Structures are given as structure tokens and as C-alpha cells.
Amino acid sequence: MRLVSWTVPKPAEPMVLEERDETAGSGEALIKVAGCGVCHTDLGYYYDGVPTRHPFPLTLGHEVSGTVAEAGPGAEHWIGKSVIVPAVIPCGACDACTSGNGRICPKQTFPGCDVHGGFSSHLRVPAQGLCPVPDLSDRSANPTGLDLAELSVIADAVSTPYQAILRSGLDRGDLAVFVGVGGLGGFGVQISAAMGATVAAIDVNAERLEWMARHGASLTLRSDELDFKSLRRAVQRLAAERGIPTWRQRIFETSGTVAGQTTAFGLLGQGGHLSVVGFTPGKVEIRLSNVMALDATIQGNWGCLPEHYPTILRLVLSGAIAVRPFVERRPMASINQTFEDLRAHRILRRIILIPEH
Ligand SMILES: [Zn+2]
Ligand SMILES: [Zn+2]
């Protein structure tokens, strides 16, 4: 199939629209892109020299929903289906996958890094792990009336914090603290609240914090106005009011900044848990021995296993996690301007690029 892709010739060079031929191989699907979200990680590859595994020229984009247009042998039953493409697709067959560790599958496919991604009319991915989307015109299955393009953000911005929250063991009545409530953190706040946790949100942006106060956060704190000690005092006051000990507090670093990581580490209390969800190539100066002295846990989190997607999709379609107030659509032809706007922090919502082709 002839497809049209926004290609990065070399990092930081303007993306150009190029035609390319792709054929779905055995077990693969060619997906007509409905929408592709723009992630902080795309900016890392584009501007900051974060290495991709596929060499440039490369098409970025790993937050995709769409419709299967073509499929190779063994995947024909997917043709015509609406799907969400997980940002991380484990191979499903290696030792890591068969022992329940598909997150670190060495043969995983990460679109826009391992293979050409979703800033394109179509993309080619392994069909296993695709998450089928029910008929969205059926209002009983889709009461909030979301469309397929809006569901693209499930592929990373919603699913990645979901898996981090699941692995943290967050339980009803616990405290979840999100440092950074942009794309991932904003959805993390909502997921935690839906699970019955008390939630605190920390960010530099007052508007984003206002949204979070309406969508599950009991406490919102401005990290650009409060020093670290004031932040920590405010979080502990909330915990004390609700009778939540430090060992039932889960800190999520979702800003992907050095300042955010420093704050998140500092919030760890005895028996606490810190989940590193955001990414920055920057380095943080911390006293790692605190982890020992506090008997605390720090856990990284890479993507989300495809097996969790159907549950996440149900949470979104039911309205337990609001998507529409947190996303903004733009034509895919605005991709170069959109990357610049995101880099300059001129955009508050998750951008979904809609292909014209
Ligand atoms: Zn991402
Ligand atoms: Zn594998």
C-alpha cells in the first residue's frame, strides 16, 4: 500500500511529507491512522538527541488509534476493525514475555522508535496486542460519545500511568501524589481517584491544576510558588487529615523534569513508593541511601502491557476517566509548528494529530 508519512530526515530538521510503500507481513496489520497523540518522548527524540533504535530518516509517533486496512497471513481477522495500537508491543513468545515480563521484551515493537510510527496516513505493526474498539456509535457502549481519534491517547498517556499505578499497589484509601500533571500525570490523577485513592497534584501551571481539582485531585500545589519544604508539609497535612501513613503513600513522577524528579524523591517517606513514569535525559543529585533508611521502593515503568488495554478502554468509555477536556486536535500538517509549540510550552492539552490523507 502507498502511504504518506511525516518523516524526520535528521533530528531537529523539519519533518517532510513523503510517500512510501508498505505491505503487511505475516502476523502484521497496516492501520489507517485516525489520530496520533504527540508525546514528550517524541520531543526527546526530535530535539534532545534521545536515540531511536531505527535510524533516521524515521517517522515518529507512538500513540495511535485507527482502523485495520490490510493484514498479513494469520492476522486477516483484524481487517476492518477499529483498534488502539499499544505504544509498546511485546513479541509474546520470548522468555521475558512467557514469564510475565513482556514490559521488558527484547523483541518489543515501539512505533516511532523501532519502526516507523503514527505521524502518517498508515502504520505497520504486529497485530498481536492490538486492542479492539467496540462500535462507538452504540451510545450504551460509549455514553460520552468519544470518537476513535480521541481514543489514541489511551496508547500511552492513559495506559502508562495505569500500569505504573497498578504496579505501585495503590489501594482504596491510599494517597497518590502526582508530580507533573501534563499528559500522563493528568490521566494518572483521574485513574487514582477512580480507584478510590486520595490524590494530590503538583505542577507549575495553575490552569492545569484547576482542571485536576475538578477531576479527582483533593489538593493542588504550585511548585513554582512553593518551596520544597512547603510542598512536603502540605502533602503531609493532607495525609494526616485523612489518616494515611507514609507507607500508604505512592509518589508518581510524571513531569519528566529534573526539578520534578528531585521533588518526587524528596517526598518519599518511610515505606513509601516512588514510581518513575516521566523521562528526562537530565541527571538528578539525590542521596540514594534515603531509600535504604526509609525502606522505600523506587520503580521504573515502561509502557503498559497490551493485556491491560481492554480494562483501560472500558474506564475511558464509561466516563470514569475524562479524555475530551484534556486533548486538542490539530491537522497533522501542523506537525512542525505543533512540535515547536510544545517545546515552547505554549500548549496545555495533549495534542492529537489528525492525518489529512
Ligand atoms: Zn510516549
Ligand atoms: Zn517478547
pLDDT tens digits for 246-277? 999 999 999 999 999 999 999 999 999 999 99
Inform me whether the pLDDT recorded for 349 exceeds 90: yes
Taking the C-alpha atoms of residue 73 and residue 81, their distance in angstroms, rounded to an integer, is: 16
Q: Return the bridge partners of 82, or none.
A: 67
Tens of pLDDT, residue by residue over 132-191, are 999 999 999 999 999 999 999 999 999 999 999 999 999 999 999 999 998 899 999 999
For residue 225, pLDDT beyond 90: yes
Asked if residues 93 and 99 have their Cβ atoms less than 8 Å apart, the reply is no
Strands 198-203 and 122-126: unpaired
pLDDT score, position 236: 98
Measured in Å, residue 10 CA sits from the centre of ligand 2 at: 29
Please tell me the distance between residue 229's alpha carbon and the centre of ligand 1 in angstroms: 31
Determine the distance separating the centroid of ligand 2 and the alpha carbon of 247, expressed in angstroms: 34
Contact 115, 125 (CB under 8 A): yes
What is the 101 CA–ligand 2 centroid distance (Å)? 8
**What single string gives the DSSP state of each residue in 224-287?**
TTS-HHHHHHHHHHHHHHHT--GGGEEEEE-S-SHHHHHHHHHT--TT-EEEE-S--SS-----
Which pLDDT value is given to residue 183? 87
Q: What is the pTM of this model?
A: 0.95
Instruction: State the average pLDDT for the chain.
Output: 97
User: What confidence tier does 357 reach under pLDDT thresholds 50, 70, 90?
Assistant: confident
Average pLDDT over residues 214-218: 97
Q: For residue 63, which of 142, 144, 131 has the smallest C-alpha distance?
A: 131
Cell numbers representing residue 112 in the block = 516511532
Per-residue pLDDT tens digits for 16-41: 999 999 999 999 999 999 999 999 99
Q: Is the confidence at residue 94, as pLDDT, over 90?
A: yes
Please tell me the distance between residue 103's alpha carbon and the centre of ligand 2 in angstroms.
Answer: 8
Rounded to an integer, what distance in angstroms lies between the CA atom of residue 315 and that of residue 96?
Answer: 28
Pick the ligand that lies closest to the CA of residue 105. 2
Measured in Å, residue 194 CA sits from the centre of ligand 1 at 22
70: region left, alpha or beta (phi > 0 left; psi from -120 to 50 alpha): beta
Which of 203, 208, 197 is closest to 221 using CA atoms? 203
Q: Quick one: how far is CA 200 from the chain centroid? A: 19
Q: Which residues, in sequence order, are CB contacts of 315 under 8 Å at separation 6+?
A: 191, 194, 321
Mean pLDDT of 318-327: 95
Q: What distance lies between CA 107 and its chain's CA centroid? A: 20
* Cα 237 to Cα 119: distance, rounded to the nearest angstrom: 45
Say how many Å lie between the CA of residue 63 and the centre of ligand 1.
7
Q: How far is the CA of 217 from the centre of ligand 2 (A)?
A: 37
